[in-house]
């Protein structure tokens, strides 16, 4: 990933179609979540329960992963471990060869976006079809998802209709229902032809070795049960301890992600088809990937692993609302992306992201597992400063600032000088229309006020002087 | 036991908007608070802290600790500066020899309306506006989400004569200020500001009231650049009837 953040931001802000799509998508996301969370008796208590469930999992991660492995094997499945993205792709390629797989359908999986699995499979002559409607459209367009839950949030329905018309000959329509019906016709055939189904994992329940996925289209259920081979892919942090924890998390996920009380399909998969069962895959593999996560565990960033990928912080974030997902440059956009991207890829790979926040806290307020996102953004900024990221200009500026602001004399003197300078620049209007760099960034879009003739402390002294005279 | 209360004016109010400091000072004195103004005060350290410059932030925050050490309460007309001390001093001084002191001072720092309503139990300061005024509230982020300040200004404002409060969609949405964010990420900040201006222009009101002078300065900078007649005012100005 190259750091093109500033350029991507400008492109995004000037993309009218994107702005329309973002307005529609994020507004709907925010409103739906608020209504759905409002229906619960005590939303904050529920969030706290969810937080505790995730903490229980992260605090016992090695044990729970081993328990999960034992139970998946006991259920007749296989467990494979991938240290990083490259290993994950190799494992799945090996499985494709072993089972003579030519065609794959894939349900939604952010982990396979991390490893760019589609490219790896296609490069080896294997056809991969995304089965989630949004993911499928993104794949058709040759793009990447721009949202964790709504991968095509950056596209308007009008642009989607045009794409389906151009690529697949769909008759033009402005009705999402018609587009869905059309794509369903295409997809049904893919499921029947596929040799392998791949899905992500929302929760892996350690106590029974059950893989829980959540969806609204039924595509995941078809992907995971129709083809002969089923491969579920998860990051190590997706394991949870018990069904009780699942019960709390699954409803919060639905309410936070889409504003539903429950998602339409809550799939629970415990192993391949048994002898007395009519359908299901012949073989089941669970692939568990680390890819940098274990490095975060036990650090002051550990709570970022509590994330259940609901996307609520994206919808709520005024920065995401304005720039969309692609500007963030990697798989995970929005506030949570600004944390996990530098943590997973290394801080120098995304040095702008921790600063891409006004620290307004809307993300934390929306998070169903109470992740203190602004606190972690601040720590990442601290790390960047310690690693020598800021330019000498910023360093000198901050040093000057601290020197002046820890000395009352220098502070007053600085205030006087800034006062004179701003009043000079403002002239009679009292408003500054243009400031020198770097402050011209402010005056490009806003006026800046002149400082007051006399400061609060001077006025107070004068007033108190008068009072004692009287 | 005498209760020693200090006024922390904040650097922005001190130098750019002293009338807001005077209004806040006056409101508190009228409630019988024997308010002290420690002359040596400067800033809470937030600009450096939010930019990741921990050492610089701590140097300035240590000065804050020195200045406000002897007080039972520190009151400030800013949710953001109060939240800096309240929420982030414990983080800033973690593992530092002054950690306990920082925690103590953090717990004693209050935003103006929070202090009036939650500590003094006052919801009517007897304010009256010169003419009937419709006002929307912009809930500034750090006070609103950082300190949970929402009901306090509303309780106080609902008792101001000649003032009608109206709902503004996105009243709790960030204006895009974010301190140095407005400089470092000025394009995004500007887009957020535009969203806020649209929200303000969509409401039938005479003024917008907020609890932070910095957000006020940012939004007013945008309104003035756009040639809009609307203005954002500080809650302390309204509570002294000066609007």
* Residue of A40, A9, A3 lying closest to A22 (CA atoms): A9
Where is the domain boundary, A295, A322, A342? Answer: A295
The partner residue sitting opposite A358, judged by closest CB among B41, B52, B177, is: B177
Comparing alpha-carbon positions, the chain A residue that sits nearest to B92 is A379
Residues A369-381: what's their mean pLDDT?
A: 98
Contact B216, B232 (CB under 8 A): yes
Asked whether the beta carbons of residue B15 and residue A362 sit closer than 8 angstroms, the reply is no
Q: How close, in Å, is residue A391 to chain B by CA atoms? A: 12
Query: What local confidence, expressed as pLDDT, does residue A3 receive?
Result: 63
**Within an 8 Å CB–CB cutoff, is residue A27 touching chain B?**
no
Residues A172-193: what's their mean pLDDT?
A: 94
* Residue of A240, A248, A308 lying closest to A43 (CA atoms): A248
Residue A394's alpha-carbon distances to A398, A400, A401, in angstroms, are 6, 10, 10
> In angstroms, rounded to a whole number, what is the distance separating the alpha carbons of residues A81 and A87?
8
- Per-residue pLDDT band for A349 (boundaries 50, 70, 90) equals confident
Asked whether the beta carbons of residue B56 and residue A13 sit closer than 8 angstroms, the reply is no
Q: Which residues pair with B35 in a beta bridge?
A: B5
**Two structure tokens written together for A376:** 């972690």
Residue with tokens 């060869």: A97
| CA atoms within 13 A of residue A197's CA, in its CB half-sphere | 28
Interface TM-score (ipTM) > 0.95: yes
Q: What is the pLDDT of residues B72-122, one digit of tens each?
A: 999 999 999 999 999 999 999 999 999 999 999 999 999 999 999 999 999
Task: Report the number of secondary-structure helices (H) and strands (E) in chain A.
Answer: 22, 12
**Two structure tokens written together for A365:** 């307020």
Query: What local confidence, expressed as pLDDT, does residue B29 receive?
Result: 97
Q: What is the pLDDT of residues B141-165, one digit of tens each?
A: 999 999 999 999 999 999 999 999 9
The neighbour count for residue B154, using CB atoms within 10 Å, is 16
Q: How close, in Å, is residue A140 to chain B by CA atoms? A: 30
Where is the domain boundary, A295, A329, A356? Answer: A295
> In angstroms, rounded to a whole number, what is the distance separating the alpha carbons of residues B21 and B13?
6
Cis omega (within 30 of 0) on the bond before A438? yes
For residue A363, the SS3 value is helix
- Per-residue pLDDT band for A1 (boundaries 50, 70, 90) equals very low
The neighbour count for residue B225, using CB atoms within 10 Å, is 18
* Residue of A366, A349, A359 lying closest to A149 (CA atoms): A366
Residues A308-332: b if buried by 16+ CB within 10 A, e if exposed:
bbbbbbbbbbbbbbbbbbbbbbbbb
**Two structure tokens written together for A392:** 């000498």
Contact A60, A282 (CB under 8 A): no
- What residues have CB less than 8 Å from A185, skipping those under 6 apart? none
Same domain, A274 and A405: no
Where is the domain boundary, A295, A328, A343? Answer: A295
Phi, psi of A210 (to 5 degrees): -100, 135
Look at residue A310 and tell me if it is in a domain. Answer: no
* Residue of B53, B185, B33 lying closest to A386 (CA atoms): B53
Look at residue A351 and tell me if it is in a domain. Answer: no
**Within an 8 Å CB–CB cutoff, is residue A457 touching chain B?**
yes
Residues A186-194: what's their mean pLDDT?
A: 93
Same domain, A251 and A142: yes
Strands A431-432 and A448-449: antiparallel
Residues A344-365: what's their mean pLDDT?
A: 94
Residues A255-269: what's their mean pLDDT?
A: 96
- Per-residue pLDDT band for A348 (boundaries 50, 70, 90) equals confident
Contact A309, A297 (CB under 8 A): no
> In angstroms, rounded to a whole number, what is the distance separating the alpha carbons of residues B82 and A367?
24
> In angstroms, rounded to a whole number, what is the distance separating the alpha carbons of residues A323 and A334?
9
Look at residue A315 and tell me if it is in a domain. Answer: no
Look at residue A152 and tell me if it is in a domain. Answer: yes
Contact B97, B117 (CB under 8 A): no
Contact B181, B189 (CB under 8 A): yes
Same domain, A65 and A211: yes
* Mean per-residue pLDDT over chain A, rounded: 95
Q: What is the pLDDT of residues A400-425, one digit of tens each?
A: 999 999 999 999 999 999 999 999 99
**Two structure tokens written together for B35:** 């308010």
**Two structure tokens written together for A184:** 């369903």
Which DSSP symbol is given to A302? G
Distance of CA A235 to the CA centre of its chain: 14
- Per-residue pLDDT band for A464 (boundaries 50, 70, 90) equals confident
**Two structure tokens written together for A16:** 């009218």
Contact A332, A1 (CB under 8 A): no
> In angstroms, rounded to a whole number, what is the distance separating the alpha carbons of residues B232 and A57?
47
Query: What local confidence, expressed as pLDDT, does residue A432 receive?
Result: 97
> In angstroms, rounded to a whole number, what is the distance separating the alpha carbons of residues A33 and B9?
39
> In angstroms, rounded to a whole number, what is the distance separating the alpha carbons of residues A253 and A246?
10
Task: Please give the CATH topology (third level) of the domain spanning B128-239.
Answer: Rossmann fold (3.40.50)
- Per-residue pLDDT band for A347 (boundaries 50, 70, 90) equals confident
* Partners of residue A398 in chain B, C-beta under 8 Å: 48, 51, 53, 56
Q: What is the pLDDT of residues A226-251, one digit of tens each?
A: 999 999 999 999 999 999 999 999 99
Q: How close, in Å, is residue B128 to chain A by CA atoms? A: 24
Look at residue A287 and tell me if it is in a domain. Answer: yes
Q: Which helix (H) or strand (E) holds A395?
A: helix A392-405
Range of the domain at A434: 394-469
Where do the domains of chain B lie? 5-119, 128-239
Same domain, A289 and A425: no
> In angstroms, rounded to a whole number, what is the distance separating the alpha carbons of residues B235 and B243?
10
Which of A7, A313, A406, A419 should one mutate to test binding to chain B, selecting the residue with the greatest count of B CBs within 10 A? A406
**Environment class of residue A278 by beta-carbon count within 10 Å: exposed (0-12), middle (13-18) or buried (19+)?**
exposed
Asked whether the beta carbons of residue B42 and residue A405 sit closer than 8 angstroms, the reply is yes
Q: How close, in Å, is residue B194 to chain A by CA atoms? A: 9
DSSP B172-185: TS--S-TTTHHHHT
* Mean per-residue pLDDT over chain B, rounded: 97
Look at residue A333 and tell me if it is in a domain. Answer: no
Domain count, chain A: 2
Look at residue A445 and tell me if it is in a domain. Answer: yes
Q: What is the pLDDT of residues B180-234, one digit of tens each?
A: 999 999 999 999 999 999 999 999 999 999 999 999 999 999 999 999 999 999 9
> In angstroms, rounded to a whole number, what is the distance separating the alpha carbons of residues A387 and A194?
49
> In angstroms, rounded to a whole number, what is the distance separating the alpha carbons of residues A19 and A320?
11
**Environment class of residue A469 by beta-carbon count within 10 Å: exposed (0-12), middle (13-18) or buried (19+)?**
exposed
- What residues have CB less than 8 Å from A83, skipping those under 6 apart? A289, A290, A291
CATH classification of the domain holding A192: 3.40.50.10420
In this model, does residue A469 exceed pLDDT 70?
Answer: no
Residues B37-44: what's their mean pLDDT?
A: 97
Distance of CA B165 to the CA centre of its chain: 19
* Partners of residue A378 in chain B, C-beta under 8 Å: 49-50, 52, 88, 91
Residues A160-175: what's their mean pLDDT?
A: 96
Same domain, A15 and A142: yes
| CA atoms within 13 A of residue A169's CA, in its CB half-sphere | 2
For residue A421, the SS3 value is helix
Look at residue A380 and tell me if it is in a domain. Answer: no
In this model, does residue B2 exceed pLDDT 90?
Answer: no
Comparing alpha-carbon positions, the chain B residue that sits nearest to A10 is B187
Residues B47-70: what's their mean pLDDT?
A: 97
């Amino acid at each position: 990933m190259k750091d093109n953040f500033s350029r991507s931001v400008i492109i995004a802000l000037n993309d009218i179609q994107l702005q329309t799509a973002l307005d529609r998508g994020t507004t709907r996301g925010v409103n739906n979540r608020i209504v759905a969370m409002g229906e619960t008796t005590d939303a904050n208590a529920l969030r706290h329960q969810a937080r505790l469930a995730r903490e229980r999992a992260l605090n016992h991660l090695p044990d729970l992963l081993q328990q999960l492995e034992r139970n998946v094997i006991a259920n007749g499945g296989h467990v494979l471990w991938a240290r990083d993205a490259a290993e994950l792709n190799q494992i799945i390629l090996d499985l494709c060869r072993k089972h003579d797989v030519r065609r794959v359908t894939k349900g939604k999986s952010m982990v396979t976006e991390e490893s760019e699995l589609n490219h790896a499979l296609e490069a080896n002559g294997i056809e991969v079809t995304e089965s989630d409607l949004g993911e499928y459209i993104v794949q058709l367009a040759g793009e990447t998802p721009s949202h964790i839950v709504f991968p095509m949030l950056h596209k308007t329905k009008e642009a989607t209709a045009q794409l389906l018309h151009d690529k697949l000959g769909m008759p033009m329509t402005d009705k999402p229902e018609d587009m869905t019906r059309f794509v369903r016709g295409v997809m049904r055939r893919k499921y029947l032809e596929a040799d392998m189904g791949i899905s992500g994992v929302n929760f892996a329940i350690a106590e029974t070795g059950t893989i829980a996925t959540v969806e609204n289209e039924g595509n995941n259920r078809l992907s995971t049960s129709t083809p002969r081979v089923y491969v579920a892919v998860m990051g190590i942090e997706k394991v949870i301890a018990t069904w009780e924890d699942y019960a709390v998390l699954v409803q919060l996920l639905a309410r936070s992600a889409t504003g539903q009380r429950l998602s339409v399909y809550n799939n629970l998969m415990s192993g391949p088809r048994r002898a007395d069962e009519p359908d299901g895959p012949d073989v089941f593999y669970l692939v568990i990937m680390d890819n940098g996560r274990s490095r975060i565990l036990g650090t002051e960033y550990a709570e970022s692993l509590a994330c259940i990928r609901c996307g609520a912080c994206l919808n709520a974030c005024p920065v995401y609302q304005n720039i969309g997902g692609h500007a963030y440059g990697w798989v995970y956009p929005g506030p949570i992306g600004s944390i996990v991207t530098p943590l997973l890829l290394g801080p120098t790979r995304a040095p702008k992201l921790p600063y891409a926040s006004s620290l307004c806290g809307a993300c934390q307020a929306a998070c169903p597992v109470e992740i203190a996102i602004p606190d972690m953004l601040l720590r990442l900024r601290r790390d960047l400063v310690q690693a020598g990221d800021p330019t000498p200009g910023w360093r000198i500026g901050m040093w000057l600032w601290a020197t002046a602001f820890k000395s009352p004399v220098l502070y007053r003197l600085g205030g006087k000088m800034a006062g004179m300078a701003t009043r000079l620049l403002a002239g009679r209007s009292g408003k500054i229309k243009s400031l020198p760099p770097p402050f011209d960034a402010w005056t490009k879009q806003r006026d800046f006020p002149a400082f007051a003739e006399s400061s609060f402390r001077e006025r107070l002294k004068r007033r108190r002087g008068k009072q004692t005279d009287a | 036991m005498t209760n020693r209360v200090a006024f922390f004016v904040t650097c922005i109010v001190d130098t750019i908007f002293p009338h807001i400091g005077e209004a806040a000072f006056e409101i508190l004195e009228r409630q019988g608070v024997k308010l002290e103004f420690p002359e040596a005060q400067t800033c809470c350290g937030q600009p450096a802290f939010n930019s990741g410059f921990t050492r610089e932030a701590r140097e300035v925050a240590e000065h804050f600790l020195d200045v406000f050490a002897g007080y039972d309460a520190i009151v400030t007309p800013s949710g953001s500066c109060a939240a800096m001390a309240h929420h982030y001093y414990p983080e800033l001084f973690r593992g530092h020899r002054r950690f306990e002191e920082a925690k103590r001072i953090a717990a004693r720092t209050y935003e103006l309306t929070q202090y009036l309503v939650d500590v003094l139990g006052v919801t009517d300061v007897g304010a009256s506006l010169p003419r009937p005024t419709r006002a929307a509230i912009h809930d500034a982020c750090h006070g609103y989400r950082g300190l949970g300040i929402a009901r306090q200004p509303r309780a106080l404002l609902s008792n101001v004569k000649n003032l009608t409060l109206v709902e503004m969609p996105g009243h709790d949405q960030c204006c895009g200020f974010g301190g140095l964010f407005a400089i470092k990420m000025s394009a995004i900040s500007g887009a957020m500001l535009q969203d806020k201006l649209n929200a303000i222009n969509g409401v039938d009101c005479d003024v917008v009231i907020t609890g932070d002078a910095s957000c006020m300065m940012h939004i007013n900078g945008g309104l003035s650049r756009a040639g809009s007649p609307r203005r954002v005012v500080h809650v302390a100005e309204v509570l002294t009837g000066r609007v």
